[in-house]
C-alpha cells in the first residue's frame, strides 16, 4: 500500500476471482464459465461494431434494453444494463442500502456482496446458512434491512422456493429485496412474475454464465420504473457509457438466438445431472444444484486436497477456505467430455488415497 492510499480503504479486502493460471492448459471448471462459445451471430455482431469504435456507445442502450424487455415480457423502462452484473450489484447497494437499511445476506454466498458493502461503507449482517446449507429464509423477514440473495445460491447451487421469496418480500414492503439470478437459467425459477405485485423487488441477471458471454461483461436488472430510475441516477453519476458497442451488439445477437441459448442450457443441465449421479455413486455428497456447477464433498478426501490433486492433473476446480464448507469443492459443469475426464481423475485420486 502506498502512503497516498486513502485511509477510508485501508481495511478493504478486495474480491478474489477464481484463478486464471497461464502456466499450462487446464480443463477449467473453476469460474462457472460456459464450455460453449457464443453463437456465430454474436461474433459477427461484435465485428460489425469494430469500425465504429470512434463513436461512443448509446448511453441509454435503447436497442439492447428493448431486446431484453421483449425476451422477458416487461416494459423497457423497467430494464437497466451494466458492465457485468457485478456493476449493477454495486449500483444497487449504493442506491438502496445505508445506515438505516443495513444489508442482510448469507454467510456463505457470492463473495462480492461483502466487498461492495465494505467499499461503500454500508453496514451488513451475514446470516448463517442452515445446517443443510439452505438459506435461513425466516431471518430475512426482519423489517428495514435491505436483503440480497443469490437464487440459486452460490456456491451451494441450492434454490429458495418462490413462496419463501414472496414471504420475504411481503414482510416489509418499505425495503428492497435484491435477487441475484445469475444462475436461474439452469433450471431455477425466476421471481419475474412477482414484479407486478412487489415494487420492492429488484432482479439482477447476467449474460456471463448461461449466455456464454463472461468475457463481454454484460448484466441487467429488472424492477419498477422508479427503481430503475434510481439506478440510472447512480449509473449516470459514475459511467453513462457503461456498456460498450461491441458488448451491446453481442447481447442483442445472443437474445435473437434463443434456440442456441436453450440448447446450451439444456445440455449443461443434462451433464450436471449425469455427473451428479456418478459422483453420488462414488460416495460424494452432492447438493441439489440448480446452477451450472456442482458443490461436492467426500469423507474419503478433504476438499482442499481434492482441489490440489486435481490441479496437478490439469483440472481446475474451486475450493473455499471457509468454515463449514472447507470440505467441499465447487465444480463448474463443463461439456460431457470434460466431465468424463474430471470423473476419471477423481476416480484415480480416490484410488491413490486408499493406498
Ligand atoms: C458470476 C456471478 C455474478 C456476476 O457476474 P458478472 O460476470 O459480473 O455478470 C453475480 N452473482 C453471482 C452469484 C455470480 O455467481
Binding site membership of 86 for ligand 1 (Cβ less than 6 Å) = yes
Binding site membership of 214 for ligand 1 (Cβ less than 6 Å) = yes
- Give the full edge-to-edge strand order of the sheet including 79-82: 79-82, 219-222, 201-206, 177-180, 146-150, 103-106, 124-127
Quote the crossing angle between the two packed helices 258-281 and 245-256, to the nearest 10°.
Answer: 80
pLDDT, position 355: 85
Query: Mind listing the pLDDT tens digit for each residue in 249-298?
Result: 999 999 999 999 999 999 999 999 999 999 999 999 999 999 999 999 99
Query: Mind listing the pLDDT tens digit for each residue in 137-147?
Result: 999 999 999 99
Dist. CA 195–CA 200, nearest whole Å: 8
Q: What mean pLDDT comes out for the span 72-91?
A: 98
Dist. CA 244–CA 246, nearest whole Å: 6
**Is the pLDDT reported for residue 109 higher than 90?**
yes
Element (H, E) at 70: helix 62-72
pLDDT, position 190: 98
pLDDT, position 85: 98
Q: Which atom of ligand 1 is nearest to the CA of 110?
A: 13
- Percent of the chain beyond pLDDT 90? 95
pLDDT, position 131: 96
Binding site membership of 110 for ligand 1 (Cβ less than 6 Å) = yes
Q: Which atom of ligand 1 is nearest to the CA of 206?
A: 9
Ligand 1 center from residue 180 Cα (angstroms) = 8
Query: Mind listing the pLDDT tens digit for each residue in 26-50?
Result: 999 999 999 999 999 999 999 999 9
Q: What mean pLDDT comes out for the span 210-214?
A: 98
DSSP notation for 76-135: GGGEEEESHHHHHHHHHHHHH-BTTB-EEEESSS-THHHHHHHHTT--EEEEPPPTTS--
Binding site membership of 165 for ligand 1 (Cβ less than 6 Å) = no
**Is the pLDDT reported for residue 211 higher than 90?**
yes
Q: CB neighbours (10 Å) of residue 204?
A: 24
- Classify the phi-psi angles of 224: left when phi > 0, otherwise alpha if psi is within -120 to 50, otherwise beta: beta
**Is the pLDDT reported for residue 149 higher than 90?**
yes
Ligand 1 center from residue 315 Cα (angstroms) = 22
Residue 200 pLDDT class (50, 70, 90 cuts) = very high
Residue 323 pLDDT class (50, 70, 90 cuts) = confident
pLDDT, position 141: 96
Mean predicted lDDT score pLDDT of the chain: 97
Q: Which atom of ligand 1 is nearest to the CA of 82?
A: 9
Q: Which residues pair with 127 in a beta bridge?
A: 106
Q: What mean pLDDT comes out for the span 54-78?
A: 98
Residue 22 pLDDT class (50, 70, 90 cuts) = confident
**Is the pLDDT reported for residue 158 higher than 90?**
yes
> Which cell is 228 given?
430503475
pLDDT, position 17: 85
Q: What mean pLDDT comes out for the span 159-173?
A: 98
- Percent of the chain beyond pLDDT 70? 100
pTM of the model: 0.97
Binding site membership of 29 for ligand 1 (Cβ less than 6 Å) = no
Binding site membership of 208 for ligand 1 (Cβ less than 6 Å) = yes
By most ligand atoms within 8 Å of CB, the mutation choice from 34, 85, 135, 207 for ligand 1 is 85
Binding site membership of 85 for ligand 1 (Cβ less than 6 Å) = yes
**Is the pLDDT reported for residue 243 higher than 90?**
yes
Q: Which atom of ligand 1 is nearest to the CA of 153?
A: 13
Ligand 1 center from residue 273 Cα (angstroms) = 22
Q: What mean pLDDT comes out for the span 59-75?
A: 98
Amino acid at each position: 500500500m502506498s502512503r497516498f492510499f486513502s485511509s477510508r480503504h485501508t481495511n478493504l479486502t478486495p474480491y478474489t476471482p477464481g484463478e486464471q493460471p497461464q502456466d499450462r492448459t487446464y480443463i477449467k471448471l473453476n469460474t462457472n464459465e460456459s464450455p460453449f462459445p457464443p453463437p456465430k451471430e454474436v461474433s459477427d455482431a461484435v465485428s460489425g461494431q469494430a469500425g465504429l469504435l470512434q463513436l461512443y456507445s448509446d448511453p441509454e442502450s435503447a436497442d439492447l434494453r428493448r431486446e431484453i424487455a421483449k425476451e422477458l415480457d416487461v416494459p423497457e423502462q423497467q430494464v437497466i444494463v451494466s458492465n457485468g452484473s457485478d456493476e449493477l450489484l454495486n449500483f444497487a447497494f449504493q442506491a438502496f442500502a445505508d445506515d438505516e437499511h443495513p444489508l442482510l445476506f448469507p454467510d456463505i454466498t457470492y463473495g462480492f456482496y461483502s466487498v461492495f458493502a465494505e467499499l461503500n461503507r454500508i453496514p451488513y449482517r451475514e446470516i448463517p446458512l442452515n445446517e443443510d446449507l439452505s438459506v435461513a429464509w425466516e431471518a430475512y423477514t426482519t423489517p428495514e434491512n435491505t436483503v440480497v440473495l443469490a437464487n440459486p445460491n452460490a456456491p451451494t447451487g441450492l434454490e429458495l422456493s418462490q413462496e419463501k421469496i414472496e414471504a420475504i418480500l411481503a414482510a416489509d414492503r418499505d425495503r428492497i429485496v435484491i435477487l441475484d439470478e445469475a444462475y436461474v437459467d439452469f433450471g431455477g425459477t425466476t421471481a419475474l412474475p412477482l414484479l407486478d405485485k412487489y415494487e420492492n423487488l429488484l432482479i439482477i441477471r447476467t449474460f456471463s454464465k448461461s449466455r456464454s458471454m463472461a468475457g463481454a461483461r454484460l448484466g441487467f436488472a429488472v424492477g419498477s420504473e422508479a427503481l430503475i430510475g434510481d439506478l440510472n441516477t447512480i449509473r449516470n453519476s459514475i459511467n453513462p457509457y457503461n456498456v460498450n458497442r461491441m458488448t451491446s451488439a453481442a447481447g442483442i445477437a445472443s437474445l435473437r438466438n434463443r434456440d442456441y441459448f436453450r440448447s446450451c442450457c439444456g445440455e449443461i443441465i443434462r451433464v450436471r445431472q449425469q455427473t451428479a449421479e456418478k459422483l453420488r455413486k462414488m460416495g460424494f455428497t452432492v447438493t441439489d444444484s440448480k446452477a451450472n456447477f456442482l458443490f461436492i464433498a467426500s469423507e474419503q478426501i478433504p476438499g482442499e486436497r481434492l482441489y490440489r490433486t486435481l490441479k496437478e492433473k490439469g483440472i481446475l476446480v474451486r475450493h473455499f477456505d471457509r468454515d463449514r464448507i472447507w470440505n467441499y469443492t465447487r465444480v463448474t459443469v463443463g461439456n460431457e467430455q470434460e466431465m468424463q475426464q474430471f470423473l476419471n481423475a477423481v476416480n484415480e485420486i480416490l484410488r491413490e488415497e486408499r493406498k
